[in-house]
């Protein structure tokens, strides 16, 4: 009980540090698997992406999609950065303020830390591809709601299907839980490979701590470095 209270206080402090202006409750995966909910049925019906055959068309579909309210409060549709021919795809959570301004994922403070971590194993924006679960900035950097994740997940799945990477790196808890469809925290998910499965695709996926979390808890950097070495082994030796 005391532990969970402390965790809530910790989470609040973290959100304030990130510039959040509203109280946020973590609600990822709540209802995510309940097909009977009206909102879920509605969202699934709206997302028939089977006609889309390339990234350009997917980008324009998302840019013209008007069912997600986040679009109305953000400046940019943040579609991707990096090299779509790369075999490594990183999936983050959602754009922050700087990403919203520049229209690219991970270009703010946590993006700079992510770049540094990746540089350690010679990964950069020329040899990896980066997207987010949510292409629009949630107001005040709040966590995306279950409904918003559900609305945007088909875009991400289509994105993966079109790029066909060999490796997925799931950056942060929202990304890991949504892509792996698991209601397990990042602390438990990280540190080992999982498999992302969709239609005929089966892609090894490595959850890692979000760099924003590392900015707050620098002591966890050693764990992310362990994960980055796992990633390097997979790239070098397919282990």
Among 15, 74, 96, 118, binds ligand URA (CB under 6 A): 96
CB of 201 closer than 8 Å to CB of 161: yes
What 8-state DSSP symbol labels residue 51?
Answer: T
Q: Among residues 69 and 115, whose Cβ is nearest to ligand URA?
A: 115
Binding segment (CB under 6 A) for ligand URA, from list 4-12, 53-61, 89-97, 200-208? 89-97
Pairing of strands 129-132, 88-92: parallel
150 to 169, contacts with ligand URA by CB under 6 A?
none
Q: Among residues 174 and 231, whose Cβ is nearest to ligand URA?
A: 174
Q: Is 109 exposed, middle or buried (0-12, 13-18, 19+ CB in 10 A)?
A: middle
144 binds ligand URA (CB under 6 A): no
Pairing of strands 167-171, 201-208: parallel
Q: Among residues 44 and 139, whose Cβ is nearest to ligand URA?
A: 139
95 binds ligand URA (CB under 6 A): yes
74 binds ligand URA (CB under 6 A): no
CB of 156 closer than 8 Å to CB of 179: yes
Shortest Cβ distance from residue 139 to ligand URA (Å)? 15
CB of 172 closer than 8 Å to CB of 186: yes
105 binds ligand URA (CB under 6 A): yes
207 binds ligand URA (CB under 6 A): no
How many Å apart are CA 226 and CA 179, to the nearest integer?
A: 21
Give the CA distances from residue 4 to residues 8, 23, 123, 162, 173, in Å, rounded to whole numbers and listed in that order: 6, 17, 37, 41, 18
Residues in the chain: 239
Q: Among residues 106 and 129, whose Cβ is nearest to ligand URA?
A: 106
Q: Among residues 44 and 98, whose Cβ is nearest to ligand URA?
A: 98
Among 47, 77, 110, 143, binds ligand URA (CB under 6 A): 110
99 binds ligand URA (CB under 6 A): yes
Shortest Cβ distance from residue 112 to ligand URA (Å)? 11
Give the CA distances from residue 192 to residues 187, 203, 223, 234, in Å, rounded to whole numbers and listed in that order: 11, 14, 11, 11
């Amino acid at each position: 009980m005391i532990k969970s209270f402390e965790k809530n206080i910790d989470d609040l402090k973290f959100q304030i540090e990130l510039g959040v202006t509203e109280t946020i409750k973590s609600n990822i995966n709540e209802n995510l698997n309940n097909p009977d909910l009206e909102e879920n049925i509605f969202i699934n019906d709206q997302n028939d992406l089977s006609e889309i055959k390339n990234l350009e068309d997917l980008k324009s579909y998302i840019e013209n999609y008007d069912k997600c309210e986040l679009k109305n409060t953000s400046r940019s549709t943040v579609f991707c950065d990096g090299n779509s021919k790369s075999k490594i795809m990183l999936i983050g959570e959602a754009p922050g303020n700087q990403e919203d301004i520049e229209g690219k994922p991970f270009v703010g403070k946590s993006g700079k830390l992510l770049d540094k971590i990746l540089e350690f194993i010679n990964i950069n924006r020329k040899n990896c591809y980066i997207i987010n679960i949510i292409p629009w900035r949630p107001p005040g950097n709040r966590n995306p709601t279950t409904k918003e994740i559900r609305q945007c997940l088909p875009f991400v799945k289509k994105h993966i299907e079109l790029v066909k990477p060999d490796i997925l790196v799931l950056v942060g808890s929202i990304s890991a839980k949504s892509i792996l469809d698991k209601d397990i925290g990042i602390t438990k998910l990280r540190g080992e490979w999982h498999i992302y499965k969709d239609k005929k695709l089966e892609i090894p996926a490595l959850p890692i701590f979000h760099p924003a979390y590392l900015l707050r808890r620098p002591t966890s950097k050693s764990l992310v470095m362990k994960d980055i070495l796992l990633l390097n082994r997979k790239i070098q030796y397919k282990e």
